[in-house]
Amino acid sequence: MQMYATRLLGDAAAAEDVVQEALIRLWRNPDVLTNGKGSVRGWLLTVVRHIVIDGARARGARPTEVPGSLDTPPVQRDHADAVAASVTVHEALGRLSPEHRAVLEQIHLHGRNLDEAARALGIPKGTVKSRSFYAIRALREIMSSMPVSRERRP
């Protein structure tokens, strides 16, 4: 039976499932063993064939599920936490001095290194480095003093 199912399906693991289902059907219909109408082996092979056919029909009856097209990004389910975090960071950045905010924008928003940020701002590299340090520290203090919502959604 196992070899027959494997030959029909071309997949040994799927064939094991089919044989198991056929044996369950035999167990649920014990009269097949005693009715005298043909062999039990023949009945089991017929059941295996029917299970394979039913599985193929079921797969063909419903369309295959594929992820969205490659052109469209996947749908983000709930972006409320990201929006809330963005608003909080935006508000905290607004509380920084203009010099500190400008340095953070150059480094983190525009992705520039210290030399590039210094050229863009027209200040020495060491000044960019120290302003970045103090801006991050000030931002951390501002954000720790901001009220945090303790309410969590499921």
For position 151, what pLDDT does the model report? 46
For position 66, what pLDDT does the model report? 66
| Runs of H (alpha helix) within the chain | 2-9, 12-28, 40-61, 80-94, 98-104, 114-121, 125-145
Tell me which amino acid residue 51 is: I
Q: How far apart are CA 132 and CA 114, in angstroms?
A: 9
Give the predicted TM-score (pTM) of the model: 0.45
Q: What is the pLDDT of residues 67-126, one digit of tens each?
A: 666 666 666 667 788 888 888 888 888 899 999 999 999 998 899 999 999 999 999 999
Q: How far apart are CA 42 and CA 24, in angstroms?
A: 16
For the chain, domain boundaries: 2-61, 91-145
For position 85, what pLDDT does the model report? 81
Q: How far apart are CA 62 and CA 60, in angstroms?
A: 6
Kindly report the CATH number that applies to the domain delimited by 91-145: 1.10.10.10
Q: What is the pLDDT of residues 4-44, one digit of tens each?
A: 899 999 989 999 999 999 999 888 888 877 777 778 888 88
CB-facing half-sphere around the CA of 146: CA atoms within 13 A: 19
